[in-house]
Amino acid sequence: METTVYRKPTHTGRYLNFESNHSTSTKRGEVKSLIDRAYRLCNSEKGLQEEIKNIRNDLRQNGRNKKATEEEQKEREQIFGKGKKTIRSPDIKKISEESEGKTSRTEGGRKEMEELKELMREMMKQMEENMQGIRQEIKEMKKEMGEREKKWEKEKEKLVERIEKLEKKEEDEER
């Protein structure tokens, strides 16, 4: 399974403009965080390089020069090291591609896959429970709307009757 950075369809690629009045440390921090995210989430070299390319393009469009971006990337590369990627999730322990302990890579991969499947099952169960609650709320809202609609119809009928009486009264007065 290959992981990479997800971007919503509405992602515009807008980041701090290099010419903005933000401090240099803020601008550098933004670049560092984008590159760190790429290293943490991309588990293949191809995916990582593609993400770095996307980051560079986005930053160039925001006024960042190529040299500064490459310097930041090299600095982050020294921290993370090439080829050492870690998948991070709040619900799963760190699962490193470099196998540790007595398990082989295949066994570790199977174990990782089973943990992910179990996590997905739990998430699906929670989502189904949430959906049931939402369905119940919708049902109650529809019922309430139906009652309000009936009430409004009665009010409308009363208003129409009053208008007709007033019109009739005006006609009688004119005669």
pLDDT reported for residue 143: 94
Bridge partners for 96 per DSSP: 86
The tokens of 95 are what?
A: 């699962």
CA–CA separation, 153 and 146 (whole Å): 11
For 27-70, what is each residue's pLDDT tens digit?
888 888 898 898 889 888 888 889 988 988 888 888 887 777 77
Residue 87: name the closest of 29, 8, 4 by CA.
Answer: 4
Q: Kind and range of the H or E element at 93? A: strand 92-96
- Which pTM was predicted? 0.44
| pLDDT higher than 60, residue 93 | no
Distance of CA 163 to the CA centre of its chain: 54
